[in-house]
């Protein structure tokens, strides 16, 4: 069939979890169907990335995403006036609506694959345009997160009362929007069982669970390396810190855990790698925050442990799979590892208080037997459960069932 594939971020290179999910889903579908990719692009996206996607897709079209304080102010005003979530209003771009309608008028598409909730309004516009031409494409929404959980959980740790109130308001608006929006799709796919239950809990209209499957995020697990031996003293966090849950986690680790790790494992250095690292990280501690890097291999090479100190979020942390595939042991909070099949103490360490988290990180750095067990078992888990070439056959049921 012909599928229109809508993405909020250009799904290449694979430097973010959302891109990993979209790219391998795109790869799987494009091996079986004719796929047109319509994606937002940002100033940081390059022509080489678009060319790489053209090698996968039948057609690639892009629309610029331009953000500014003025646009954010408009989105806040729209949200206040209409009750629409700010995160949805911010991504309402007239040029994207025009591009969607133009494609639907040019070609018949049997399905519209909608990557993340932000693209749902455009998928609904695509169906409306198709119906004008006598068609009725299947709408599929790939929900990377139960989005309302993110501001809801951030509110729990917000110190400022106004911030907490704003997050609670956004969580309520997002929950209402998700329920209303998801009900208009033929299939809604969650990446974790936890997100699926959270989304189903929003409904009061008897949504059938059969129309709400779970397909986890996967990677190219057959490229996983051999287990690593202990010896490196680096502590790595890798992820965009423009995403508030990541920034909160990095601050929390640096302020409340790193000093204790240093006492237990002298010489440890914290690498906080990713876009927009917080500028208020504590001075005088061994912290390296280089910002976004095109190739993080040197930081992986110097790291003996990968940390996921998240207190908020939803979906899956793809970087845990990435760390496992590289043989790097992982220490995470329960929220950070949510949705991932794991065995605490065997392929991952789970800790939810600053003291326990610091102790776990120091243990991985100083205990060679623990380090090697976590490395070996993490590799085993990612190969067995998270290889896209085997797991993503589940998408065939979504698109080929009646």
Confidence of residue 231 (pLDDT cuts 50, 70, 90): confident
SS3 content of the chain, % helix, strand, coil (to 5): 45, 15, 35
Residues 314, 147 contacting (CB under 8 angstroms): yes
What pLDDT, on the 0 to 100 scale, is given for residue 210? 47
pLDDT of residue 209: 45
| 53, 54, 59, 60 alpha-carbon torsion, rounded to 10° | 50
Residue 216: pLDDT band with limits 50, 70, 90: very high
- Averaged pLDDT, 186-204: 86
pLDDT at 402: 56
Mean pLDDT of all residues belonging to the chain: 92
Q: Is the pLDDT of residue 42 over 60?
A: yes
Residue 227: the pLDDT is 84
Model pLDDT for residues 358-380, shown as the tens digit of each residue: 999 999 999 999 999 999 999 99
Q: What is the pLDDT of residue 211?
A: 67
List, for residues 32-41, the tens digit of each pLDDT value. Answer: 999 999 999 9
Distances (CA, A) of 295 to 253, 290, 350: 24, 12, 28
Q: Which of 255, 248, 240, 87 is nearest to 157 (CA)?
A: 248
What average pLDDT score do residues 107-130 get? 97
Q: How far apart are the first and last CA of the chain?
A: 13
Task: Please state the rounded mean pLDDT for residues 154-166.
Answer: 83
pLDDT reported for residue 277 = 93
Helix H segments across 60-142? 69-82, 86-89, 94-106, 120-132
| CATH number of the 2-218+388-400 domain | 3.40.50.2000
Segment of 8-12, 154-158, 219-223 carrying the highest mean pLDDT: 8-12
Q: Which CATH superfamily is domain 221-385 in?
A: Glycogen Phosphorylase B; (3.40.50.2000)
According to CATH, where is 3.40.50.2000 located in the chain? 2-218+388-400, 221-385
**Which position has the higher pLDDT, 309 or 67?**
309
Q: Is the pLDDT of residue 208 over 60?
A: no
Q: Residue 83 above 90 pLDDT?
A: no
Angle 290-295-300 from CA coordinates, rounded to 5°? 80
> How far apart are alpha carbons 296 and 330 in whole angstroms?
17
| pLDDT, tens digit (0-9, with 9 covering 90-100), for 232-254 | 899 999 999 988 899 999 999 99
What is the pLDDT at residue 276? 93
Q: What is the mean pLDDT of residues 198-224?
A: 76
């Amino acid at each position: 069939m012909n599928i229109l594939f809508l993405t909020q971020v250009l799904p290449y290179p694979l430097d973010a979890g959302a891109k990993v999910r979209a790219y391998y889903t795109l790869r799987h579908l494009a091996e079986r169907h004719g796929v047109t990719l319509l994606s937002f692009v940002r100033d940081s996206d390059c022509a080489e990335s678009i060319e790489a996607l053209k090698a996968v897709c039948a057609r690639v079209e892009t629309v610029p995403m331009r953000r500014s304080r003025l646009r954010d102010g408009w989105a806040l005003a729209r949200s206040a006036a209409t009750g629409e979530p700010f995160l949805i209003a911010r991504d309402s771009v007239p040029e994207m609506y025009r591009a969607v309608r133009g494609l639907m008028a040019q070609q018949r598409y049997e399905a519209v694959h909608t990557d993340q909730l932000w693209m749902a309004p455009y998928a609904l516009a695509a169906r409306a345009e198709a119906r004008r031409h006598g068609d009725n494409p299947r709408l599929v929404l790939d929900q990377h997160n139960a989005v309302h959980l993110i501001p809801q959980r951030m509110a729990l740790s917000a110190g400022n009362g106004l911030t907490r109130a704003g997050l609670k308001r956004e969580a309520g608006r997002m929950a209402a929007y998700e329920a209303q929006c998801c009900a208009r799709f033929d299939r809604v796919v969650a990446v974790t069982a936890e997100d699926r239950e959270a989304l189903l809990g929003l409904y009061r209209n008897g949504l059938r669970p059969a129309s709400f499957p779970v397909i986890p995020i996967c990677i190219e697990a057959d490229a996983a390396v051999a287990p690593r031996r202990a010896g490196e003293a680096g502590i790595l966090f890798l992820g965009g810190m423009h995403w508030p849950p990541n920034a909160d986690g990095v601050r929390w680790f640096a302020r409340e855990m790193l000093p204790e790790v240093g006492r237990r494992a002298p010489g440890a250095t914290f690498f906080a790698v990713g876009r927009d690292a917080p500028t208020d990280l504590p001075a005088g501690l061994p912290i390296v925050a280089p910002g976004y890097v095109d190739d993080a291999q040197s930081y992986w090479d110097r790291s003996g442990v990968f940390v996921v100190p998240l207190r908020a979020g939803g979906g899956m942390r793809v970087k845990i799979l990435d760390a496992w595939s590289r043989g790097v042991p992982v220490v995470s909070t329960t929220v950070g590892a949510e949705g991932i099949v794991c065995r605490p103490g065997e392929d991952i360490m789970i800790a939810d208080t600053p003291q326990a988290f610091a102790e776990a990180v120091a243990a991985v750095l100083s205990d060679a037997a623990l380090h090697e067990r976590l490395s070996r078992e993490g590799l085993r888990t990612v190969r067995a459960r998270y290889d896209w070439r085997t797991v993503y056959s589940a998408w065939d049921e979504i698109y080929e069932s009646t």
